[in-house]
Each structure stands twice: as C-alpha cells, then as structure tokens.
Amino acid sequence: MNPTPLRLSRLAPLVLLASSAFGAFPAASHDDPACTAADKIYMARAYQLARYAITHGGGPFGALLVKDGKVLAEFSNCVHSTHDVTKHAETGLISMFSPKIDRETFAKSTLYTSTEPCTMCCGAICFAGIGRVVYGTSEAPFLQVMGLPPDPNPLTSHEILSRIAPKTKVLGPLMEAEGLEIHEGYWPIHPEDVGKS
C-alpha cells in the first residue's frame, strides 16, 4: 500500500533528520561542461540571493538576470512573507521586471537560478522569452534533501523547456555542492515548508 500524500508530508521531517544524522545527503553532480567562468561568478550571486531569501521570508532560492555582463534584475524567493505561491525566485523576477525589460532584452539575457526551475517557473521563462538559463542545483538531489522520495518519472527543466521554448538554452547543474549545502542547512530545520516554497 502506498502512503498518502498526507502521510508522506508527516514522514518528511523524520526522513530529513535521519538523512542528516547518517550523512545520507546526495553527492553533488559535476558541473555542466558548457558553463563558463563567468557563469560561475553569477551562480555564486544566485546562491547569495538564496541565502538572503532564508532570512527574509522565503525558501532557499535566488535568481538574477544578466545581459552582456550586466546584472539587470535580482530576486529572492518570498513565498512565505508574501503568502503568494508564485513568488519563486524565477517567477518573481519575471513578474516584477517584465514591465521594465522588453522581450528582445530577455531573449539576449541569461537567467541564473540557484535551483533547477520548476514547471511553473519554466512556463514564465518561456513566456518571457529568456534565451538562456543556467541553474545550480538539480531537482533530484534537491528533492532528496527535502526528504521526498525519488520521482519515478522526473520532468526536468531541460525537457520542459526543450518542448515549450526550444530556443531557450538550458545549462546545469553548476556549483551544485554549494547549492546542496544551502538546502541541507534549510530543510532539516524547516520541514513544515516542504512543498510550500
């Protein structure tokens, strides 16, 4: 018999505690070889924004938009402080800055995001017309840190965006060990946020 979602949500804190107690957190993947030295600089900033989010009413996620070496926009997850489930780092950035940034600029920009974009964020990336996405932490190890079971049919941002926005280039993971460290420091002490950030 499969546990119901309610039972899984009650088990998540125990799985998180057991994982941290036995060192069972996932190992980081190697960096995507297509990423550049400049990508690493901007990913470090995305991770700073994720850390900021933790202390300012959000889950551990950050994003920034860069064009020609210039940061155009930054956003940290603020789902908890705003009570707005759409305020993920990526969707929040796109929502806040799309009235100020034209589609041509989005198309020539790179969105750096601390964690692989979810399905909702992929939709926003598609409609904004962002030309390139670089993410830090992949979804599978991130879900493991949250204490959730592996998804038997994972749907990655690579797959989603290749279907709905084939012109968008997706790279990642990048500097995943740093991203997993942020998640490992957050989810075991905030199990009530699992599935809510």
Which residues are known to be catalytic? 90
* 147 phi and psi angles, rounded to 5 deg: 90, 15
Going by C-alpha positions, the residue among 158, 100, 156, 161 that lies closest to residue 130 is 161
Kindly give, in sequence order, each residue whose CB lies less than 8 Å from that of residue 3, ignoring residues fewer than 6 positions away.
11
Alpha helices in the chain (DSSP H): 5-21, 37-55, 79-82, 89-97, 103-107, 119-128, 139-146, 157-164, 176-186
* 108 phi and psi angles, rounded to 5 deg: -100, 10
Kindly give, in sequence order, each residue whose CB lies less than 8 Å from that of residue 149, ignoring residues fewer than 6 positions away.
8
Q: Do residues 66 and 97 lie in contact, with contact meaning Cβ atoms separated by under 8 Å?
A: no
